[in-house]
Structure 1
Amino acid sequence: MFDENKVETRIPIESSEDIYQHADHLRTTVRRYLGRPVAVVEPDAGASPVPLQA
């Protein structure tokens, strides 16, 4: 996942269906790249993001 500053956060998924839990965030990211208006989306409380290792 990327935030508005293009900072990446990796979120592990167990199956391809897990991606639906992050659909809103993915849509927001795509809208940013397309230059369309973006509504503020709160992160999913059930997600446990894994920060990138340097």
Structure 2
Amino acid sequence: MIQQLLNKRGSKWLHPPRLAGYTQPEEVANVLLYLASDLSSHIIGQTVVIDGGAVLS
């Protein structure tokens, strides 16, 4: 089954295009600082994906 999906989608699943390159540790730290600050007081129970846009492909 996996081989059929790979044949159908090609290498897009294995190597998705990224909008911003590889995620740097500083980028993850910035998100964590934001979530720990008062600025994010209305963000509750969310999953924050930090992947440089790979989910969009």
Larger RCO (CA within 8 A; separation ≥ 6): 2
Which structure: greater helix fraction?
Answer: 2
Larger Rg: 2
TM range (shorter): under 0.3
Give the TM-score of the pair, scaled to structure 1.
0.25
